[in-house]
Amino acid sequence: MLPNIHDKDYRVLDLVRQREIRDSMAYAVSQKLHVTENLISRLGLEKELVGHAGCVNCLEWNESGQILASASDDMNIILWDPFRYEKKLVLHTRHLGNIFSVKFMPKSNDRILVSGAGDGMVRVCDLTLPDPIFFCNCHIGRVKRLATATTVPFLFWSAGEDGFILQYDIRAPHNCKTSECNNVLVNLVNHLGRYAEGKCISVNPKRPELIAVGANDAYVRMYDRRMIKLSQVPIISSPHSHMTRGNVCTCVAGGGDPDRNVPLDCAQYFIAGHLHSRQHNSNRSLTTTYLTFSADGNELLVNMGGEQIYLFDINNPKNFRTSFGYSSNMYLGDLGKYYKEKNAEDITDLSKRNVKTLPPHVEELKRQANKSFEQQKYTLAINLYNKAISYCPTAAVLFANRAAAYMKRTWDGDIYAALKDCQTTLLLDPGHVKAQFRMARCLFDLHQSVEADVEITDFEERFPDYASNSACKALKMDIKEAIDSGRDKDMRQSMTPISRYECEWRYKTIDYKLRFCGHCNTTTDIKEANFFGNNGQYIVAGSDDGSFFIWDRNTTNIIRVLRGDERIVNCLQPHPSTCLLATSGIDPVVRLWSPLPEDGSVNEREIQNLEDAASANQIRMNSDPFEVMLMNMGYRFPVQQAELNEDGDDNQDQSFVQPFNCRQS
């Protein structure tokens, strides 16, 4: 008997089967299948698909969502019928290393599969034929990711740890050893240096000429491939030369493209502003482990290994451009530069948008946030301010209060987020005393002492009554000491030579639009983050603690945490049209997640305390390997809290943020 579509106690997979059987009910069923807040709140484990003999490193839905492909360390690809929980096919790929990526070639009726693996090989298989129809071993490093584009069904791309981004055309014969093999789209080694690695790649679904690339650094690269001339893999005759990496010439590493095949104006770089100066001066490496464009092609979601998850706007760079480049001494964020350079008339227009009297429901959220701040529950306070700002995005007081909470919490990126909030506050309320002082404090904490000195001097000139404040004097002394010692200047030096074009691209980077915190991404370099929902209204990502997180895209707040693996969740691939999620990780199984019935039963996979889970992951990300081992064994460390110095409400308290001790690394 078919389930009643008006009954709340249904499973998504039942509805999918029903949609296939009863076409007349298709519309009503499809409405039930959309990802909604109610369905997200009921998401639970539907089924475990057992069949692999090793870690499952990648998942891929076909275009219709009727087939799920998974690939593993066992070097096999399995095609699943996810609605009957059955294997449709087990493909023994003949790869000699762990498979890290698998893709369906578009418009091939799910007949042609592409795979890339740790053996450096890319294989294309027609499932109706016994042998591969395309084979490439141009990569001499592990192939980490493949990318396809629905509108260009004959092309695909790969990113390898040799630094090569390769382009393939399955219509043309391919021979890796001939001089006619021109398939290098970008050679990262030429620009980043000999240790450059390609980690991930994605093609814009609406503008397939735009290709985003992640590497083993904090920069995210986007290229317009129409402007690039394909080149050869550079081979030299002597593989024993000290100037080689494998059999690829690195004698020009960091010197730029010898043939200038990648023009200067074909690339746009993105980075979270505070990571410009951190990447060469941290015990924790930064690597882009995954990136993907939104369905409308306007945004780029990036999972930054060793850091947080960031969302970039690729069409409106002027609002988010960072100014602190490879060798510049400018502000970290464009909002600060914008504030400095905007004329008085424009500032006046912006200040007219400042909402001084909040609507009752927003005022209540602010009251709750202030109370949480007083209780030193800074994450809760930030979540409440996030909600309030989503309702009232032009209220200076909300940004100012949230900045104070960020400065107290001090998670990775919080100080920079506070700086951005202070700048927004000043755009809306140019006379805001605390915001300008906090901006100087944030710049100092971000090791931008020269900029902090400019800011504190400007503060004293604009607000002379506060120049004698003890906090102001103490900050000035700290800034002067940092400048005199040259501490911050040393932190900006690059450890490896990079090309002139690379310098220019880094100088013109675009800052992030939104940030999502709470997961931990330090152990594996294939950890994904994806949009979830027909409008990308949720963000999902796995974590080193064996959980996966779901964030509300609008507020950036965590709304669910579920246990997805015994150790690490790496892959999360939402179904293309229903509220169904496939995940995998270190366990040799694929897990399917869908809304559970509303029958009152307990979801044993749900993590109840979201704040504790997020806080523990921040400690995990900043712990030494021995502490991480203890955490994996079940030990927990107390979360450090900064000393309370103010109530967080700028309408009530005009005191400054006093100097506080940052989290120890």
CA angle, residues 73, 220, 117, in degrees to nearest 5? 20
Residue labelled with tokens 């366990």: 587
Q: Amino acid identity of 582?
A: A
Among residues 603, 600, 595, 606, the alpha carbon closest in space to that of 38 is found at 595
Residue labelled with tokens 């919490």: 409
> Can you give 306-324 as a three-state secondary structure string?
CCCEEEEECCCHHHCECCC
pLDDT tens track for 501-536: 999 999 999 999 999 999 999 999 999 999 999 999
Tell me the three state secondary structure of residue 143: strand
E-assigned strand segments in 86-142? 86-92, 99-104, 112-117, 122-126, 134-136
When pLDDT is cut at 50, 70 and 90, the band that residue 234 belongs to is: confident
Percentage of the chain with pLDDT > 70?
Answer: 79
CA 629 from chain centre, in angstroms, equals: 25
Q: Amino acid identity of 85?
A: Y
Least trusted range by pLDDT, from 348-357, 389-398, 441-450, 654-663? 654-663
Among residues 339, 301, 321, the alpha carbon closest in space to that of 507 is found at 321
When mean pLDDT is compared over 80-94, 250-264, 271-285, the highest value belongs to 80-94
Q: What is the pLDDT of residue 486?
A: 83
pLDDT tens track for 95-131: 999 999 999 999 999 999 999 999 999 999 999 998 9
Calculate the alpha carbon distances from 222 to 268, 313, 456 in Å. Answer: 5, 12, 36
pLDDT of 564 > 70? The answer is yes
pLDDT tens track for 149-164: 999 999 999 999 999 9
Calpha distance 190→339 (Å, rounded): 37
Least trusted range by pLDDT, from 41-55, 268-282, 465-479, 534-548? 268-282
Calpha distance 654→645 (Å, rounded): 12
- Inter-residue contact 263 to 270 (CB < 8 Å): no
Among residues 658, 360, 314, 370, the alpha carbon closest in space to that of 513 is found at 314
| Sign (positive or negative) of CA dihedral 213, 215, 220, 224 | negative
pLDDT of 13 > 70? The answer is no
Q: Average model confidence (pLDDT) for the chain?
A: 85
Backbone torsion region of residue 123, taken as left when φ is above 0, otherwise alpha when ψ lies between -120 and 50, otherwise beta: beta
Q: What is the pTM of this model?
A: 0.88
When pLDDT is cut at 50, 70 and 90, the band that residue 245 belongs to is: very low
pLDDT tens track for 447-481: 999 999 999 999 999 999 999 999 999 999 999 99
When pLDDT is cut at 50, 70 and 90, the band that residue 68 belongs to is: very high
User: What does residue 537 show for φ and ψ, rounded to 5 degrees?
Assistant: -80, -5
Q: What is the pLDDT of residue 174?
A: 87
pLDDT tens track for 310-357: 999 999 755 444 434 333 333 443 444 444 444 454 555 677 889 999
552-573 b/e (C-beta count within 10 Å ≥ 16 → b): bbebbbbebbbbbbeebbbbbb
